[in-house]
Structure 1
Amino acid sequence: MTVHQFLSSAGRAGIGLATGVLAGALLAATAPTAGAATAAGVAPGPAAPRAEEAALRQALADIVAAGGSTAALAQVRDGGRTLWRGAAGTADLATHAPVRADGYFRIGSITKTFVATVVLQLVGEGRLRLDDTVEHLLPGTVPGGAGITLRQLLDHTSGIPDYTEDPRFELKDEADILRWVDTGRWTTYRPRELVDVATAHPALFPPGTGWSYSNTNYLLAGMAVERVTGHGWEEEVRRRIVLPLGLTGTSFPRTSPFVPAPHAHGYFSLSGGPVDVTLRNPSGASAAGSGISTAADLDRFLAALLGGRLLRPAELAEMQRTVEVRPGVGYGLGLQRMDSPCGPLFGHTGSVEGYQAALVGTQDGGRQVALSYNPFDRSKGAEQQRAVLGLLVKALCPSAPTGGAAPNG
């Protein structure tokens, strides 16, 4: 199993089990599981109606109380204003410090949405084309790259294996995990090195004939941005998205292991007790998942993206054209689509050691929810999923009927 699978039954970064269950639960308007914990919510500006705020506060608390997370924080944005934000749980098991709703966290694969946005901006400028081949953009990098397009990288139809599934990243037991904690998490990787790990394995399928989530695709997309612009993908995201939108809490570190304060810590629950895994070298994720942000910044980013402020209509439409992954769930160009009672929802999920996150909003960019939580008790995977889904349903479809059980993913 991978370190992500060890941490949580919700699965690896991307459109895994948690996303499939999310879509089903949104279709069923699942109610959150009851819990005893409380969350501290604050709402600058006009607040949510009292009943809605109470439901959101309870749903967030359930992620900690029923879902076995050490911490959770979330923010709901509607019509350009903060409707509600809150936090629950403990930020640091050593000091018992409370979680802050304005805290920083690792966003994992939500990074992909930032990278895809930059790629599509370059497409709109005529500097890239979605039918450009990998061989044209990055000669000699991928076997069979002449038959793989930029679009197929962005929507995961390339057939290129995921480097994170290589046996060298596999953690078979607790001893392997402890070795990763002691040494592995500090390793610096180059994107090309990780691409070579992936392409040492045979292709999963001929390009364009299947779908398989692969972090390798976004390493290549980041390399293509650098090839075209002469700047690292991180600098292009900063210049094109972070600075124009005033995302003061968002960064994409290359090798720095730190998360800015305040933040909730991430942990592994091992036989000897909790192990803090907050610090890690992010180069092993790079353009596939190295980002750090806040709930406020993520909501602002998704509102601007889906509201048409970052892409021209043609490129935004391409981003939202999805490959059907399972009923009610599709994957576009760095965006996941999830059907719901309030129409199609778009966003992305993310997972890295100690942190899981979700960013989802309505198609018109009117309403968004950003959530970060820190899974800990692996025996509560199903309860955690129900609690997370309860929060997202309450945030995005507040008028939908509640009740019933979450369908299986």
Structure 2
Amino acid sequence: MSYKSFRHGISWLLVGIVLGGALVIGIDHFVTLPHERAAQQVKNNQQSNQQRAENRLQKNKERQKKPVADPYAKNVASQLTPVQTQLIKKLLTTNKVIGTLLVVKNNKVIWQQGFGYADAAAQRGNNAASLYQIGSIQKSLTATLFVKDLIDTGKVKYNDPVAKYYPTIPHGHQITIRDMLDMVSGIYHTDLADKVMTDQEIVNWSAKHLTVKPENIGLFSYQPINFTLLTGILEKETGQNYQDLLDQQLLTPLNLVHTGFVQAMGDEKHRTYSYKDGTTYQRYPDESQVEISRELGTGNLYASAGDLFRMEQGIIQGKIISKKRLAELRNTTNGSYRGGAYCFKTYVNGHGVEAGYDAGYALAKDGRSGVVLLANTYPKQTTSKLATQIAQMVLHI
């Protein structure tokens, strides 16, 4: 073999080595790394949502330093009649409520008191500052955001078929956005995510792990998956994270400095622990990160009683969406579920249950008067029923 031929052969050998190495790297990049990237994306997203929750907490702490008069920040002795006061205390005792009661009449706090312990081990009692998970009451906030960002802007219409956004959902052309907001879609979960996921992964999981009962389309059935899917549309159409939207467009404008995301609740000095009962104070299991991550748009907030009153009041009084839009969203007076609330002729109420917490409220249609009852245990009757009874008894709503 000539020297020239030998050199030519060596050159091609080197080219082959380089190309082979590149091929191996490419295969590794497109086969192995996507799994690593997916795992890292989950981690990054959770860190991001965790960081958002921590950022919200820090903002709250800074805002709380400002000398702003807050009528909901302290306990207020009952200004009801002695008979009314004793009747309500008996009602709460009979139902084994531990938590915080807030009664507001014509924008004035006429009673705010804590019952039982926020932290039994530390002998720290519940009071006006105590913080509770509010569970599904959050759906009323999600629905309000959906109207503000998508319905109001014309990006989405109430009568849009779900198939427009989730083509694989069975009978998706028969189910509308309105159906999902009113929980009459006939959509049911078939399984729950068993690992921590990103927002998009939770939405994708939900869209794949569901069934539709066509005979139930148009019939009420309380299924949180409706709001998970609605939140997916909200994030996709706005291009923004749900936590950011809620923080920027609802919590901050209403100056709710005692409200945050559950990921950061453990760092709050006024946090409560949930208990199986208010006698032995046996702790209820803490919510796992898996459970928190799958509550996208449906139940990952905590709040004080005063903040819960103000957020629902703000929605009712047109501070987030117009009263006209709210009337469209909550277009019934027979107590049916509309956009995260049960709507009656003279009042609305809401209810949330999560991880040993039970939250309820009943507010007059003008938002000036109402009752909030937050519990860190499960009472015999739900807090929403108790709040409604109290509101009807003393506020006549």
Q: TM-score, normalised by structure 2?
A: 0.71
Confirm or deny that 1:318 pairs with 2:328. yes
**Aligned mates of 2:331, 2:392 — CA distance in 1:** 21
Check conservation: 2:360, 2:383, Cα contact below 8 A.
no
Structure 1 residue 83: Cα displacement: 2.7
| Inter-CA distance 353–220: structure 2 relative to 1 (3 Å threshold) | same
Larger radius of gyration: 2
Confirm or deny that 1:359 pairs with 2:350. no
| Inter-CA distance 389–363: structure 2 relative to 1 (3 Å threshold) | same
- 1:331 corresponds to: 337
- 1:35 corresponds to: none
- 1:228 corresponds to: 237
Confirm or deny that 1:133 pairs with 2:161. yes
- 2:271 corresponds to: 263
Match of 2:116, SS state, is: strand
| Inter-CA distance 257–162: structure 2 relative to 1 (3 Å threshold) | farther
User: Which of 210, 215, 218 lines up with 2:219 in the alignment?
Assistant: 210
Confirm or deny that 1:294 pairs with 2:304. yes
Q: What is the identity percentage for the equivalent residue pairs of Structure 1 and Structure 2? A: 21
User: Which of 370, 381, 384 lines up with 1:385 in the alignment?
Assistant: 381
**Aligned mates of 2:88, 2:107 — CA distance in 1:** 23
Determine which structure has the larger helix proportion and give its number. Answer: 2
**Aligned mates of 1:227, 1:313 — CA distance in 2:** 26
- Encode CA deviations 1:241-269: one digit per residue, 9 max, x unaligned: 1111101112235x557362212211246
- 1:49 corresponds to: 79
- 2:282 corresponds to: 274
- Encode CA deviations 1:80-105: one digit per residue, 9 max, x unaligned: 33232110011223222211221111
Letter in 2 for 1:66: T
Q: TM-score, normalised by structure 1?
A: 0.69
Check conservation: 2:235, 2:242, Cα contact below 8 A.
yes
- 2:88 corresponds to: 59
User: Which of 126, 133, 136 lines up with 1:106 in the alignment?
Assistant: 133
- 1:84 corresponds to: 111
Q: What is the aligned length?
A: 318
| Inter-CA distance 81–98: structure 2 relative to 1 (3 Å threshold) | same
Letter in 1 for 2:253: P
Confirm or deny that 1:395 pairs with 2:396. no
Q: Which fold has the larger relative contact order, with Cα–Cα distance below 8 Å and residues 6 or more apart in sequence?
A: 1
Check conservation: 1:358, 1:372, Cα contact below 8 A.
yes
User: Which of 156, 166, 184 lines up with 1:157 in the alignment?
Assistant: 184
Letter in 1 for 2:159: D
Check conservation: 2:80, 2:110, Cα contact below 8 A.
no
Match of 2:158, SS state, is: coil
- Encode CA deviations 1:158-191: one digit per residue, 9 max, x unaligned: 111045xx4x69xxxxxxxxxxxxxx8xx52445
Structure 2: unaligned runs, 5 residues or longer = 1-73
Match of 1:223, SS state, is: helix
- Encode CA deviations 1:327-377: one digit per residue, 9 max, x unaligned: x53111222124xxxx5321310000110000220112221222111226x
Letter in 2 for 1:131: N
Match of 2:88, SS state, is: helix
- 1:20 corresponds to: none
Structure 1: unaligned runs, 5 residues or longer = 1-40, 170-183, 402-409
Structure 1 residue 287: Cα displacement: 0.8
**Aligned mates of 1:110, 1:259 — CA distance in 2:** 22
Match of 2:169, SS state, is: coil
